[in-house]
Amino acid sequence: MTATMPAEPIDQDSARHPATGDLPLRRPGGLGAAGVMYGAIFATSFRDQLAYAGQLALRGLFLAMILFVFLQLWRATYEAQGTGAGGTLGGFTIAQMLWYLALAESIILSRPRITLEIDREVRTGEIAYVLLRPYGYAGYRLARYLAERLLRFGICLALGTALALLYVGPVPLSPPSLAAALVALALALLLDFLAMLGIGLLAFWVEDTTSITLLYDRLVMLLGGMMLPLDVFPEPIATVARALPFSQLVYGPARLALSSTPQELAPLLLRQVVALAVTGLLVHRLHAAAFHRIHSNGG
């Protein structure tokens, strides 16, 4: 800063501006007010998503097709392996395999394209309206992401469950494992959000983040265990894939949901917490740098 303006002292604890007297200068509210604010963004975003009913229906149709194709492929694979009825591959019966795929596909198909939205907001300058509000950009994005993702995931999961029941019938599920899977899934969604937010924020440096998004999406699909559980990957690829954070987004929660006991939860949670801490720190730094760097796009 090259010049110093005579300071106009602002009494931050007072509700009024010391000069004009009638100004309702306020600090942004506390945790409760923030909850109401982000809750309202979540609710509005959820309502907005309902406008895309056609898109939601298409996703459902796509899920039904994928599960049907995978069922046929896995049936042929199980028969070729000569496992017979009740036989397993990588510890999965064919029924468990289809249930795994229903869960994994629901996780993948519910992923919002927030990197591209951030990219567009930065390029068009629409980000200006977000920055004019008394909320943080990351919080605003998280509220919108959760609304979109939870709605889509709920629909995909309901449909996936119905299809799995229709195609292969029920599989034994353990309530403690399901509860553990829910915890792992919550962390997985948060980790995925942080990664996508970080990629989106790169729009402040690169012209277009589409290629980075594409690369990340493919890594999540391939190494995350979307098409097949990591247990049937050949070694050493399976070990490498398990060690990478992508498996914590899809394979981890889906595998846990089908386990007989939740004993896999502790190591998975540990890895998720470490991944969240590292990604969170990186995104925090990126966020600070991006918003300091921001300059006018589109005048």
Measured from the CB atom, is 33 or 266 closer to other proteins? 33
Contact 252, 272 (CB under 8 A): yes
**Nearest to other proteins of 9, 234 (CB atom):** 9
| Cβ distance to other proteins smaller for residue 48 or 79 | 48
- Cβ(234)–Cβ(91) below 8 Å: no
d(CA 26, CA 30): 11
Is the Cβ of residue 195 or residue 203 nearer to other proteins in the bound state? 203
Site for other proteins, rule CB under 8 A: 1-5, 8-10, 12, 17-20, 23-29, 33, 36-37, 39-41, 44, 47-48, 51-52, 124-129, 131-136, 292, 294-296, 298-299
Minimum distance from CB of 35 to other proteins (Å)? 10
Cβ-based nearer residue to other proteins, 29 or 91: 29
Write the CB contacts of 31 (distance below 8 Å, at least 6 apart in sequence). none
The SS3 of residue 254 is helix
Q: Two tokens at 91?
A: 């510890």
CB of 112 to other proteins, least distance (A): 15
Smallest separation (angstroms) from other proteins to the CB of 145: 16
**Who's near 1: CB < 8 A, 6+ residues apart?**
none
Provide the minimum distance between the beta carbon of 109 and other proteins in the complex, in angstroms, as a whole number: 21
Helices 94-109 & 251-258 angle (0-180, nearest 10): 140
**Calpha distance 127→137 (Å, rounded):** 9
Cβ(63)–Cβ(106) below 8 Å: yes
d(CA 180, CA 174): 10
* Beta carbons of 290 and 137 less than 8 angstroms apart: no
The span from the CA of 110 to the CA of 140, in Å, is 19
Q: How far is the CB of 243 from other proteins (least distance, A)?
A: 33
Nearer to other proteins, 10 or 274 (CB): 10
Token pair 């609304």: residue: 147
Reading the block at residue 152, the tokens are 């889509």
Taking the least distance from each CB to other proteins, the nearer of 10 and 281 is 10
Nearer to other proteins, 4 or 82 (CB): 4
Other residues' Cβ atoms within 10 Å of the Cβ of residue 153: 18
Minimum distance from CB of 126 to other proteins (Å)?
5
Q: State in angstroms the smallest separation of the CB of 114 from other proteins.
A: 16
Between CA 125 and CA 235 the distance in angstroms is 47
Q: Looking at residue 135, what DSSP letter applies?
A: S
Q: Which residues pair with 89 in a beta bridge?
A: 92
State in angstroms the smallest separation of the CB of 52 from other proteins. Answer: 8
